[in-house]
Structure 1
Amino acid sequence: MSDDLFCEIIAGERPAHVVSSDEVAVSFLDVRPVFKGHVLVVPRVHVETLTDLGEVGPFFERVQAMARAVEEGLEAGGTFVAMNNRVSQSVAHLHVHVVPRQKKDGLRGFFWPRTKYDSAEEAESFAARVRAAL
């Protein structure tokens, strides 16, 4: 493990309100929640980004279970599930935000400005570049 904040929580060296912990992931309340009940799901193994995570299936099974638990346990209307990779990643340890939502809770779409493609051709050029990288 690294010496980042989340590794310290995983190791039990830093206090946290742990919601779930197993051999794959540790989930705990975000100390600066968007809404109360906002949970972070982090892989137990130290990786910085999603592309660094070896097997994604087991980790995202935990994310899926947490989204279900947040909805049921908090009687939320739904959840906002998100992650950053490098840019805007406050801790350099992969983490997924599971935020409880209610209709008209004030959270609107994404937290960043949206844009449009100038044409279908421009959109296809971006799709083609990503497709080629696969």
Structure 2
Amino acid sequence: MASIFTKIINREIPAHIVAEDDNYIAFLDIMPLVKGHVLVVPKQEVDYIFDLDPEVLSGLTVFSQKVAKAIDKTIKCTRVGVAVIGLEVPHVHVHLVPLRTMDDINFTRPKLKLSNEELAEIAETIKGGF
């Protein structure tokens, strides 16, 4: 069965996409830790990051860097944090989280509940950073 991220890649369910190429896609987390929290996903459906082929893993890092730089340009933050947890969805994904404090990347705290309009506005803002 396809993961929720594969369904986003295949446009079977909507997402606020901020960047995409032939191998990777980046979109807003719909339950973000902070505004501007982005997920970066390889289009190849693999559950565990260290099971990716070396070329795909390195490409994921380079693509994530481009997205992080766009976030850093457009979202007020001290820097962009990165985390790979890998327990929530069985499809590799990198969390890029705009940080002002260490607590901004605390996955145990309550997530934000933003409207579709707020998410769309944030996505357009980040797209402007490329």
- Measured against aligned partners, the alpha-carbon deviations of 1:92-112 in whole angstroms (never above 9, x if no partner) come to 00000000112xx46177658
Give the SS at the match of 2:103.
coil
The sequence identity of aligned pairs, in percent, is 36
CA distance in 2, matches of 1:68, 1:7: 25
Pick which of 60-69 and 31-40 moved more. Answer: 60-69
Provide, for residues 13-44 of structure 1, a one-character-per-residue CA deviation record: whole Å limited to 9, x for no partner.
00000001111210000011000110000001
Confirm whether residue 60 of structure 1 aligns to residue 61 of structure 2: yes
Question: Which runs of no fewer than 5 residues in structure 2 stay unpaired?
Answer: 109-130
The normalised TM-score by structure 2 is 0.74
Task: Determine which structure has more spread, i.e. the larger CA radius of gyration.
Answer: 1
Q: Sort the Cα spacing of 1:109 and 1:25 in 2 relative to 1 into closer, same or farther, 3 A.
A: closer
Name the counterpart of 1:25: 24
Q: 2:88 aligns with which of 90, 97, 104?
A: 90
- Residues 78/48 of structure 1: CA separation in 2 closer, same or farther (3 Å cut): same
TM-score, normalized by length of structure 1?
0.72
The answer to whether 1:101 aligns with 2:102 is no
Say which SS state the counterpart of residue 12 (structure 1) adopts.
coil
Runs of 4+ aligned structure 1 residues displaced above 3 Å come to: 108-112
Q: Which has the higher contact order (CA 8 A, sep 6+)?
A: 2
Tell me how far 1:78 sits from its aligned partner: 0.5
Q: 1:101 to 1:52 in 2, by over 3 A?
A: same
Mapped contact 2:25–2:43 kept (Cα < 8 A): yes
Structure 2 match to 1:119 = none
The alignment status of 1:71 with 2:72, answered yes or no, reads yes
C-alpha RMSD of matched pairs (Å): 1.9
Local SS of the residue matching 1:8: helix
Partner of 1:132: none
How many pairs are equivalent? 106
TM-fit CA distance, 1:70: 0.8
Match of 1:39 in 2: 38
* Structure 1 residues not aligned, in runs of 5+: 113-134
Change (3 A) 1:12 1:109: closer
Inter-partner Cα distance in structure 2 for 1:110 and 1:100:
12
Structure with higher helix content: 2
- Deviation, 1:83, is 0.4
| SS state at 1:79 partner | strand
